[in-house]
Amino acid sequence: MKKGLKNSIAALLLVIIFFLGYIRETSFLILNTVINNYPFPYNASYVSPPNFLYSFNNQTLIAVKWGLTFGFSVIFFLMSFILINFYFKNKNFNKITSWAYLFLVGVSFLIALLGIIMGSFDETYALSRFFIGLAQSPLVPLVLVVLFYFKNKVEIEEINP
């Protein structure tokens, strides 16, 4: 594949990942608006919640948030994996990408579990939320692409000084 086309497709995949990040953020802000009964406008995206969300109780909306958390984590992992695999075609980079997401989800789960066991979930929620939030953001694929790009560049320069 020509380098220009490959770069364009990789850039398009990154744009899609950033767009997914926007959709994720807006979805959660909308759900939080309904759950907490915040007045409109409540965020920078100025998207008002659809009326049907107000017909659900808070428990249902919180369950939807948990489902979306899991779903977006999987989507971001898959999109990152596709991007890394497409651009670099390096099994080690694929493994590192998989381990990075497994680490983020695992740490988030362990912190939440520790909070539940100790009866202090409210105190551990913010830290747990931070780690799972990273797994649902464009930051991880962007950092991985940059790291892998420069690692490749250094290896090529070592081979061809």
Q: Where are the domains of the chain?
A: 3-159
Mean pLDDT of the chain, nearest integer: 92
pLDDT in tens, 33-68: 899 988 777 666 678 889 999 999 999 999 999 999
Please state the pTM of the whole predicted model: 0.89
pLDDT in tens, 88-118: 999 999 999 999 999 999 999 999 999 999 9
pLDDT of residue 43: 65
> Token pair for residue 13?
């995949």
pLDDT of residue 44: 64
pLDDT in tens, 2-39: 989 999 999 999 999 999 999 999 999 899 889 998 87
pLDDT in tens, 130-149: 999 999 999 999 999 999 99
